[in-house]
């Protein structure tokens, strides 16, 4: 059943989608506990950062589809990395960096619209700000990886070349995500209140 059919049938999809995102958040937190019990504190630390990111998006008031897409991609990427599957698929995780930044931009656009009243009047600048905020988060995440590696010996950042590739994937994803956010904001503005 498509979302439009569900909406026509009167099914409230937002709570269902947010509920699935919450299940993923809880599962991420449970995985942190399991990693600690299993004697893998560096992996638990890395996953804690990801779980906190997933939890923080709950307060963004983004569209439920955007929220579930971001949390779902984040959880999938985290688990694939945590359990060693990503090392066999794509150790540099370029696809993950690209897709996660695409999904992050609509979340950040929702935060900007909610917190900056002027942003509601200029959808293009809101999407541009969301793209810039996403790029800022990408740079911040790479800095956090470097600090974690330097201070906690976590091996989150593989090399300078890996960091460069992560930044390039993140910038490309932020650009696509900003365009997606602009499209979503424009569609939202066209709906009757």
- Name the nearest CA neighbour of 104 among 140, 149, 80, 79: 140
Does an H or E element contain 12, and which?
A: none
Asked whether the beta carbons of 134 and 107 are under 8 A apart, the reply is no
Q: pLDDT for 109-144, tens place per residue?
A: 888 888 877 656 677 788 888 889 999 999 998 898
Write down the mean pLDDT value for the chain: 84
Listed by start position, the domains of the chain span 15-190
Structure tokens that stand for 154 in this block: 């976590």
Q: 6 versus 69: which is more confidently predicted?
A: 69
Identify the band that residue 69 occupies on the pLDDT scale cut at 50, 70 and 90.
very high
The answer to whether residues 125 and 119 touch, using CB atoms and an 8 Å cutoff, is yes
Instruction: Dihedral sign for Cα 193, 122, 13, 108, please.
Output: negative
Q: What is the pLDDT of residue 2?
A: 40
Average confidence (pLDDT) over 160-167: 87
Residue that is written with structure tokens 């540099």 in the block: 92
Phi, psi of 110 (to 5 degrees): -65, -40
Cβ(174)–Cβ(106) below 8 Å: no
Query: The whole model's pTM is what?
Result: 0.83
CB 47 within 8 A of CB 31: yes
Distance CA 130, CA 87 (A): 31
CA-to-CA dists, residue 41 to 4, 18, 37, 48, 82, angstroms: 44, 29, 9, 10, 12
């Amino acid at each position: 059943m498509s979302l439009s059919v569900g909406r026509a049938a009167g099914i409230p999809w937002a709570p269902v989608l947010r509920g699935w995102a919450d299940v993923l958040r809880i599962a991420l937190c449970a995985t942190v506990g399991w990693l600690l019990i299993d004697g893998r504190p560096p992996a638990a630390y890395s996953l804690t950062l990801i779980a906190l990111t997933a939890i923080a998006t709950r307060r963004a008031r983004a569209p439920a589809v955007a929220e579930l897409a971001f949390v779902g991609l984040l959880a999938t990427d985290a688990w694939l990395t945590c359990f060693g599957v990503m090392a066999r698929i794509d150790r540099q995780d370029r696809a993950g960096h690209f897709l996660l930044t695409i999904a992050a931009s609509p979340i950040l656009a929702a935060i900007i619209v909610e917190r900056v009243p002027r942003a509601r009047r200029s959808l293009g600048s809101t999407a541009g700000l969301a793209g810039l905020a996403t790029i800022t988060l990408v740079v911040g995440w790479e800095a956090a990886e470097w600090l974690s590696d330097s201070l906690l010996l976590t091996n989150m950042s593989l090399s300078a070349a890996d960091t460069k590739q992560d930044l390039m994937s993140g910038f490309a994803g932020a650009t696509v995500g900003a365009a997606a956010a602009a499209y979503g904001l424009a569609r939202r503005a066209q709906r009757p209140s």
